[in-house]
A and B are shown apart, each in its own frame.
Chain A
C-alpha cells in the first residue's frame, strides 16, 4: 500500500478503503476510531517531509563520480595484487612476476653456493699411524749410548705419537720426540739386537 493509499484510507477518501474489511471494521469499532485520527495525522506529517531538490547536473556528476571511483578502486586492486608493490617502477603484472622470479633465482643460487651441502657431517681428519721413516729425526738419537735398532725406534716413535694424538691439544710428533721425559730404557731390552 502506498503512502497516498495510507492517507486516503485513513481520510476515508479511497474507494479501495471503503470496500476493505478494515474500513468496515473501523466503522463499527470505537477503539479503532480513536486510533485512526493520530495515525492519519502521522502519515500526513510524514508525507510532508521535504527532500533536497537536485539538478540534472548533480545526477550527471554523480554518475561520473561513481565511474571514477570504480576505476580508481580497480586500479588500486590491480596494484594490490602486484607481488612487487614495494617497487614503484614496476607496474605491469608480467614484469613484476618476472622480476620476482629473477630475485628468487638469485637468492636460491646464493644459498646453494654458500651453505655446505652436508652440514650434518664433521670435517674429515686424516689420522695415520704409519710413520714415514725418512721424515723421522734420526740424528736426535746419535747421542744415545745404547744402540737401538731401527725397528725399536720406529715402535717408540709410533707409540709416543699415538699417546700424544689421543691427548688433548696434541702437539704432534715433534713434541713427543723433544720431550726429555721419554724414557728409552723401557725399550732397551727389546731394542737390543
Chain B
C-alpha cells in the first residue's frame, strides 16, 4: 500500500474515531504498535518501560486526536508523541536515585539470549560497545540517529517529529555520526 493510500485509509479511521466509533482506533494501533514499540525501546533501552510507554503514547494519541490536522501522516504525528513520551520518561528516570528501579544500566539492557558460541559472545560484546556509544550521545543526536538510521525517516520527517528545522536535524545527524565514530575509536583503543 502506498503512503498516500495508507494516509487516506488512516484519515478515514481517524474521522470514524472522532465521530464516536472507538473501535476504529484498533486498526491504527495494530498497524503502528510494532514500530512505536521498537522506536521507544531504542530510545529508553528497557523492554518493560517500552511496553508501558507504547501504551501511553497510543492513549495520548487517542485523547488528542482532535488536534491531528491530517497535514502530515498519522505515523509522523504518532512518532512525535512517542518520542516526547520517551524523552519525558528519560528525564523522570534521570531524576531518580541511581540503583533504584532502573537507572543508567537500563540504557544498556541487553535482550536475553542463551549463551552461545564464542562468535555469539563476541557479537554481543560488539553490540554492547555500540550501544554504549549510542547511549552516551546527547539526547537530540541520539534520537535523530535512531530516526534516520533505524526508522529510515527523511530529514523532513525527522524535523517534524523533533519539532526543529530541517537544518538542525541534519546537523544533529552529522554530529551524532561524528561523535559515534570518535567514541567507537576510543573504545577500540
Contacts and interface: CB of A to CB of B under 8 A. Distances in A.
Contact of A70 (B41, B47, B62): B62
Contact of A63 (B26, B38, B177): B26
Interface in B146-189: 149-150, 152, 177, 180-181, 184-185
A73 B184 contact: no
Interface of B (DSSP majority class)? helix
B141 interface: no
Interface in B102-140: 111, 113, 123, 126-127, 129-131, 134
B184 A66 contact: no
Contact of A48 (B29, B34, B62, B123): B123
A70 B25 contact: yes
Of the four ranges (under 10, 10 to 19, 20 to 34, 35 or more), the interface on chain B belongs to: 35 or more
B152 A41 contact: no
Given A50-B127, A52-B47, A67 B26 contact: yes
A62 to B, nearest CB: 6
Interface in A163-184: none
Interface of B: 22, 25-26, 29-30, 33-34, 37-38, 41-42, 47, 51, 54-56, 58-59, 62-63, 111, 113, 123, 126-127, 129-131, 134, 149-150, 152, 177, 180-181, 184-185
